[in-house]
């Protein structure tokens, strides 16, 4: 792991290897790609659109979407743009590509051609290559981002940035811990330093590519201080490699006070740490993810969850909101279902745009606790790293200073357990090795005790399970007997 911008020669040497990982790698010509990127109009660039959203105090809307075949994929994106009114578009990558299993991705493509339906859960951009990407991105009127979950995303970055995408999601931590099992954190961080270096290279040549650490992590009862710490670390890592436009993210918890406090502190703390390490020229924006946990199967109920996320995103002042669809509980949505999620969201972002929402004392109190927690984690983490952000992160995970609930990655401690308090805010019930002082811990214990008393039961793993199911069963807090408390 580097603790400075990767020297150009080392970077270029590594590029050769990377481009050799799959046949389409040879399509990439970096200088030509930069020229191509420069030819893209401002209105189709992520960085510009985000900047003007901040000025206009708008919350932009963006779906997730990706299918196996190029024509179908373009048709899908056009539909989401024209019918759904998406302000920003995605290209969600399939799971084989995410695990660099390009041969299996190819099988998926071939089978999809044969059966006439997409058998992949996303768009296999590496297999399709640079020209196909360009033909898609250039046919759309709004900026397009790569969204994935790829631990080693170097080749994918090379191909998609040359392919005209102007934003790239992910990070060495956020695309490892929730998205893999056996990937070494050291390796994924190093690989993502390559991606950030590539973005930094474009930046040096005058082309800004937006970078977005993946905020929600496992999407399942993640306390804000955990996802904030990961976001800040990945922002520092990206900035170090020369990225200048970063969108930090957070997945809705469902308690509005906590969600608003989270988005506001996320922005503040990210800027604070970037400034502290001399990256004050980085532009920071925020993304709010509509509920990332299990959804209700009933579509009318799913619309309610989508709406609640949309309104909270606006009231929190997020720069953009990632939208779910009413099919969420079932499977990858049809184009129609996906557009419906967008339309619901747009109605609310427009209706709420003009409303003011101030900081209540509850929001301030919640911001205060999130700040304290995040600073505790960040300071302890930075101390471990010998001025190397990557090393800090690796050691923080090793020692459980940062601990993501329900993560599949073996390098995650998995000792921390969250649960909701009586108002539905996410608190922590097993701290594992989180570096919190007793006053913070007492706060959590007190909050959970309140709930335990109301429900007349102990805080336990059963309570956590109840909370995991709650939203899909029509509640926020997983009460023992629905409706009784």
- How far apart, in whole angstroms, are the C-alpha atoms of residue 428 and residue 436? 11
Q: Among the candidate windows 111-119, 249-257, 282-290, 389-397, which touches other proteins by CB under 8 A?
A: 111-119
Burial 141-152 (b: 16+ CB within 10 A, else e): ebbbbbbbbbbb
Among 31, 354, 437, 438, binds a copy of itself (CB under 8 A): 354
Kindly state whether residue 290 participates in binding a copy of itself, applying the rule CB under 8 A. no
For residues 1-40, which are near other proteins according to CB under 8 A? none
Confirm whether 169 is a catalytic residue.
Answer: yes
Q: Among the candidate windows 88-96, 204-212, 303-311, 387-395, which touches a copy of itself by CB under 8 A?
A: 303-311
Confirm whether 16 is a catalytic residue.
Answer: no
Among 76, 292, 310, 318, binds ligand B12 (CB under 6 A): 292
Query: Minimum distance from CB of 390 to ligand B12 (Å)?
Result: 22
User: Nearer Cβ to other proteins, position 163 or 180?
Assistant: 180
111 interface partner picked from a copy of itself, ligand B12, other proteins, none, CB below 5 to 8 A per type: other proteins
Kindly state whether residue 423 participates in binding a copy of itself, applying the rule CB under 8 A. yes
Dig out the tokens for 21 from the structure: 């990982």
Going from the C-alpha of 449 to that of each of 420, 428, 429, 437, 485, the distances in angstroms are: 11, 11, 10, 18, 15
Torsion, CA 469, CA 472, CA 473, CA 475, rounded to 10: 90
Query: Which H helix or E strand runs over 286?
Result: strand 283-289
SS3 458: coil
Query: Minimum distance from CB of 325 to ligand B12 (Å)?
Result: 7
Q: Catalytic one among 169, 299, 371, 455?
A: 169
* Residues 434-463 as x/- pattern, contact with other proteins by CB under 8 A: ---------------------------x--
- How far apart, in whole angstroms, are the C-alpha atoms of residue 485 and residue 476? 13
Which residue shows structure tokens 């070494």?
184
- How far apart, in whole angstroms, are the C-alpha atoms of residue 125 and residue 112? 15
108 interface partner picked from a copy of itself, other proteins, ligand B12, none, CB below 5 to 8 A per type: other proteins
Kindly state whether residue 432 participates in binding other proteins, applying the rule CB under 8 A. no
User: Nearer Cβ to a copy of itself, position 174 or 344?
Assistant: 344
Going from the C-alpha of 187 to that of each of 12, 182, 200, 228, 234, the distances in angstroms are: 18, 11, 20, 22, 14
250 φ, ψ to 5°? -155, 140
User: Nearer Cβ to a copy of itself, position 44 or 395?
Assistant: 44
* Residues 218-257 as x/- pattern, contact with a copy of itself by CB under 8 A: ------------------------------------xxxx
Alpha-carbon dihedral sign for residues 29, 31, 33, 36: negative
SS3 145: strand
Kindly state whether residue 55 participates in binding a copy of itself, applying the rule CB under 8 A. no
128 φ, ψ to 5°? -75, -35
Dig out the tokens for 38 from the structure: 């420069």
Q: Among the candidate windows 4-12, 289-297, 392-400, 449-457, which touches other proteins by CB under 8 A?
A: 289-297
Which residues make beta-bridge pairs with 7? none
Binding residues with other proteins: total (CB under 8 A): 41
Burial 29-45 (b: 16+ CB within 10 A, else e): ebeebbebbeebeeebb
Q: Which residues bind ligand B12 (CB under 6 A)?
A: 64, 92, 95, 98, 121, 149, 178-179, 216, 218-220, 292-295, 327-329, 331-332, 406, 408, 468
Catalytic residue annotation: 98, 169
Q: Which residues bind a copy of itself (CB under 8 A)?
A: 254-257, 296, 298-301, 303-308, 310-311, 326, 339-348, 350-358, 360-362, 422-424, 471, 474-477
């Amino acid at each position: 792991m580097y603790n400075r911008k990767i020297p150009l020669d080392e970077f270029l040497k590594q590029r050769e290897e990377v481009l050799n990982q799959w046949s389409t790698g040879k399509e990439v010509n970096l200088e030509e790609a930069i020229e191509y990127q420069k030819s893209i109009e401002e209105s189709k660039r992520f960085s510009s659109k985000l900047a003007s959203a901040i000025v206009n105090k708008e919350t932009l809307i963006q779906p997730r979407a990706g299918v196996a075949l190029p024509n179908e994929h373009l048709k899908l994106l056009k539909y989401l743009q024209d019918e759904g009114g998406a302000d920003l578009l995605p290209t969600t990558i399939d799971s084989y590509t995410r695990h660099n299993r390009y041969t299996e991705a190819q099988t998926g493509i071939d089978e999809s051609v044969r059966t006439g339906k997409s058998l992949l859960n996303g768009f296999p951009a590496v297999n399709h290559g640079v020209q196909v990407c360009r033909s898609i991105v250039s046919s759309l009127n709004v900026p397009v981002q790569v969204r994935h979950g790829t631990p080693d995303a170097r080749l994918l970055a090379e191909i998609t940035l040359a392919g005209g995408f102007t934003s790239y999601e992910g990070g060495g931590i956020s695309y490892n811990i929730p998205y893999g099992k056996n990937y070494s954190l050291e390796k994924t961080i190093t690989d993502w330093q390559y991606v950030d270096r590539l973005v930094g290279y474009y930046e040096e040549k005058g082309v800004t590519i937006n970078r977005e650490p993946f905020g929600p992590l496992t999407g399942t009862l993640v306390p804000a201080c955990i996802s904030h710490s990961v976001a800040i670390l990945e922002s520092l890592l990206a900035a170090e490699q020369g990225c200048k436009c970063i969108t930090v993210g957070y997945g809705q918890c469902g308690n509005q006070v906590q969600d608003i406090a989270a988005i506001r502190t996320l922005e503040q703390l990210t800027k604070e740490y970037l400034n502290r390490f001399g990256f004050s020229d980085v532009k920071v924006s925020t993304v709010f993810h509509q509920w990332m946990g299990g959804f209700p199967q009933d579509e009318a109920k799913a619309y309610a969850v989508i709406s609640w996320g949309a309104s909270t995103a606006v009231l929190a002042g997020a720069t953009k909101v990632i939208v779910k669809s009413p099919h969420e509980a079932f499977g990858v949505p049809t184009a129609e279902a996906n557009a419906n999620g967008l339309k619901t969201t747009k109605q609310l972002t427009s209706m709420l745009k003009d409303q003011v929402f101030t900081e209540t004392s509850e929001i301030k109190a919640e911001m205060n606790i999130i700040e304290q927690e995040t600073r505790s984690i960040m300071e302890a983490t930075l101390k471990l790293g010998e001025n190397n952000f990557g090393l800090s992160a690796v050691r923080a995970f090793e020692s459980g200073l940062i601990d993501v609930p329900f993560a599949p990655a073996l390098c995650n401690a998995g000792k921390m357990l969250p649960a909701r308090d009586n108002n539905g805010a996410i608190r922590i019930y097993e701290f594992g090795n989180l570096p919190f002082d007793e006053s913070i811990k007492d706060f959590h214990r007190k909050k959970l005790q309140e709930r335990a008393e109301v429900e007349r039961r102990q805080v336990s793993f059963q309570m956590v399970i109840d909370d995991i199911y709650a939203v899909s069963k029509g509640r926020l807090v997983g009460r023992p007997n629905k409706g009784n408390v």
